[in-house]
Structure 1
């Protein structure tokens, strides 16, 4: 299966640059897998498609200001870091903008030395492992020095940082937002619960595995970068009960989907755990965990487009995307939403 099979032409004007004023006024495309029917709604209509007894699974990761601009101490050269994943206390895997100048033991200084990063391991494709050196509380220093890691296709400045967070973001550690969740508001969450739908949270800290471009021709040659996820015991019990009683599990986003599918594939049921996943889902994959999926509109040739093509079918997804382009849906992080039933 070729990566080029998942390419499509997208007018640049449809790449959403800013969030809508009201989160839930985004468009909602509803795709019915059984009939192939496609409906055009708004996100606030999603309640019409949720049923009492459903389990809605969200990713409650919180985006950190993970982009840092610093100075290489030896030469005063400018270096940009993107914090991807905390490996242990004060040790981070990072993507380095101009990695060739960062060697073993290179020290990068941020904020006139209030934070320093010492390179302790060299990895491929611009990845480095750094020991963070500072006094105080790391996330407080990061709040002062870092910026929100908006994707490169967003050129506009984000006026309000919290618009690149879900309203239920809780656990710090993500390098990107789980964007399918950006459409939810406290009011919609309240109505969902009032309808008898149970909301549960898992955590996956979004890193390179989610947004890394596919650079190979054959899908099978692509290696997913691992990302850290957590499921607690109460959530695992709720999900297992839903499976046993025939209740629908509705995943909010591809990151929640990867958590649930990784977990059930490994253990045969849902199990409380804190671990890494590098699951790569593409057509031919047999879904076991989820029944419905809420997602955004994704990049051409991306692993996310492959994931939703595996959940529906590539033909139906590309038919839906063609309609989305025709109807001028907004694409990518701040774009519109899709519900696949």
Structure 2
């Protein structure tokens, strides 16, 4: 299957640069994956798409303020560091700019030396393994010195850093937000639960592989970056029971979808599990872990467009995207949402 099959025209002005003041004020495009029919709604109407006994599955990962600006100790040169993944013993896999300035042994200082990083390994495409040194609690220092790593297509600054976190964000570890979850407020989640819908949480720490372009013509040759996931036995039991009773499993975001699919694929059912997943879902894949998907609108030719196309067929998705462009829906992280039922 060729990557060009997942391309579509997207005017740049439809890329949302800032979030709406009210999280629930977004629009919602409802797509019937069996007929291809679309309906234009507002996001609050998501509650009408959920029924008693259904399960709404949310990703409770919390985005790290993972972008750091420091100085190279030896020369005073300005260095930008993006934390990608924590390894052992305060070592981090990172992206460094400009990477050519940082070799093994180079030291970077942040916050007048409150945090220092020594390069202990070089990887391709600007990747560096950094050994962190500090006094105190690392995440408290990171909260003070770091900035939210907004996606590269967002050019505006974000005054309120919490606006790039979901209201239920809990477990630190992501380099990007699970953006479909940004539309929910605590009041909306409470109203959904009062309707008899089970609201449950899983964790998948989103890596920058989310934004990694597909650089091969044949999509089957694309390799996904691994991301850490976790599901509790409590969540697994609720999901198993709901399935037995005929309730629908609704994944909020492609991160929740990939976690559910990883666990069902590996274990045959929902169960307590954790580990690393590099699952790649594209047309031809049989979805078994969820029955409905709430998601934002994704980049052309991205693995995320391929995932939703596996669930609702490529033709229906591209038709829905063309409709969204015509109706001037807002795209990507701070944009509007689509519910595929």
- Counterpart position of 1:174: 174
1:109, CA displacement in angstroms?
1.2
CA contact (8 A) 1:85 1:227 kept: no
Equivalent positions of 1:163-202 (< 5 A) are: 163-202=163-202
SS of residue in 2 equivalent to 1:88: coil
- Counterpart position of 1:101: 101
1:258, CA displacement in angstroms?
0.9
SS of residue in 1 equivalent to 2:128: strand
- Counterpart position of 1:277: 277
1:75, CA displacement in angstroms?
2.7
- Cα separation, 2, equivalents of 1:321 and 1:258: 21
- Cα separation, 2, equivalents of 1:229 and 1:290: 16
Gaps of 5+ in 2: none
Deviation per CA, 1:17-43: give whole Å up to 9, x if none. Answer: 111111111000000012221000000
- Counterpart position of 1:146: 146
Residue 56, structure 1, aligned to residue 56, structure 2: yes
- Cα separation, 2, equivalents of 1:270 and 1:109: 45
Equivalent positions of 1:1-341 (< 5 A) are: 1-341=1-341
CA contact (8 A) 2:56 2:198 kept: yes
CA-based RMSD of the aligned residues comes to 1.2
- Cα separation, 2, equivalents of 1:52 and 1:208: 36
- Cα separation, 2, equivalents of 1:91 and 1:134: 12
Gaps of 5+ in 1: none
Deviation per CA, 1:3-26: give whole Å up to 9, x if none. Answer: 121111111110001111111110
Shift in CA distance, 333/287, structure 1 to aligned 2, threshold 3 Å: same
1:187, CA displacement in angstroms?
1.3
- Cα separation, 1, equivalents of 2:94 and 2:179: 21
Shift in CA distance, 97/301, structure 1 to aligned 2, threshold 3 Å: farther
CA contact (8 A) 1:209 1:278 kept: no
- Cα separation, 1, equivalents of 2:65 and 2:150: 10
What is the TM-score normalised by the length of structure 1?
0.97
SS of residue in 1 equivalent to 2:166: coil
Query: Number of matched residues?
Result: 341
- Cα separation, 1, equivalents of 2:10 and 2:33: 24
SS of residue in 1 equivalent to 2:294: strand
1:274, CA displacement in angstroms?
2.4
SS of residue in 1 equivalent to 2:256: helix
What is the TM-score normalised by the length of structure 2?
0.97
- Cα separation, 1, equivalents of 2:264 and 2:216: 28
